[in-house]
Structure 1
Amino acid sequence: MQEMPASKAYRLLEAGPIVLVTTSDEGRPNVMTMGFHMVMQHAPPLIGCVIGPWDHSYKALQASGECVIAIPTVDLARKVVDIGNCSGGEIDKFKRLRLTAKPAKDVTAPLIGQCLANIECRVADRSMIERYNLFILEAVRIWVDAERKERRTLHHRGDGTFVADGKIIDLRERMVLWKQFQD
């Protein structure tokens, strides 16, 4: 085995897909790319997200308490990277990257029409924002594009490379203690 710096632990543990987070800043939509997020519990559905003051979206999320977590697929990989390489404080990312902003039902932040799924969220707990830049969000509504042919998500390896979801291994019959979560 080879040793690697402990600061690179995220490269081994980042299991969730890269997501896009939309916010609304005084009526102006914005979007950012995010890799640091985690499911925290099933009910109520809580999601932890690291968004720091260096991100333009931080101020909008702090002010509105709402966002949308959009799940892009591999066909959007270049746009996902381009979104992360510019600031919504300087440009309209929706316009520049030709993203379709669709109205959400319960939050002011827009859904992204090109994404596989969109999760409308509200900030549920602010206690870890100042210390860790960790927003605890509650999912309030989910939209999935059932007609979308491309369903593979992107997983960042922390160094500019990505892995795409691959073959599904179905072991539902063995998950006897977790049947209530199967649909």
Structure 2
Amino acid sequence: MNDDAYRQKQMEAYPLNKLARLLEPGPLVLVTTGHQDNSNIMTMGFHMMVQHDPPLIAFVMGPWDFSHKALVETGTCVIAIPGADLMEKAVDIGNCSGAETDKFKRFNLDPLDAEIVGAPLIKQCLANIECRVVDTQLSEKYNLFVVEAVRAWVNRSRKEQRIFHHKGDGTFSLDGRTIDMKARMTKWKEITA
């Protein structure tokens, strides 16, 4: 059987408009913004690490998001990583708008003052990353922002430490067992320390 026939028999064509479902790189996160004495939380799945040092993160946030105006005007946000026990709340947070809802109150989440930025941390999350916008070159065209992490916090005392990933179609995968391959990472020793 030639390659073409094999591919057609074994592989199924996949719609390009659903490609994010195959490549979604990181955990579902909650993004907080603070603007004019109002704090908001939004759910986000489109984000990625850009580089390690300084730590840069890129994400998509557009004018359809209530948090967009606050991000543009303040240039700061917090990326909070919820544990698996917050999965339902994270989905529900994404199903309502901060224009009509105080999401901290509605979802019984506790805001904590950040050290550097004006957006709040979320007490119940596994980690909180304080961020400043450092690059908006692609914001107008693609709604892509690049932020620099300026302070990070983790809560190792939480019982639930697993994170979860949105698969782009309303389903989620849950982190499970961790496999240690540090010894094999001979070219990248600096990141395994």
CA–CA separation in structure 1 for the residues paired with 2:161 and 2:19: 27
What is the TM-score of this pair, normalised by structure 1?
A: 0.98
Match runs of 1:1-183 below 5 Å = 1-183=11-193
Tell me, in whole angstroms, the C-alpha distance in 2 between the residues paired with 1:84 and 1:93: 10
How far has the Cα of 1:104 moved from its partner? 0.3
CA–CA separation in structure 2 for the residues paired with 1:181 and 1:141:
19
Structure 1, unpaired ranges of 5+: none
Cα deviation, residue 15, structure 1: 2.2
Structure 1 outlier segments of 4+, above 6 Å: none
Separation (CA, whole Å) in 1 of partners of 2:106 and 2:156 = 27
The residue identity in structure 2 corresponding to 1:12 is L
Across the aligned residues of Structure 1 and Structure 2, the Cα RMSD in angstroms comes to: 0.7
Aligned length: 183
Q: Secondary structure at the match of 1:178?
A: helix
For residues 86-122 of structure 1, the C-alpha deviation after alignment (integer angstroms, 9 at most, x for no partner) is 0001110101111100000000000000000000000
Distance in 1, Cα, partners of 2:134 & 2:53: 13
Structure 2 stretches lacking a partner, 5+ long: 1-10
Q: Distance in 2 between matches of 1:127 and 1:44?
A: 18
How far apart in 1 are the matches of 2:192 and 2:127?
Answer: 18
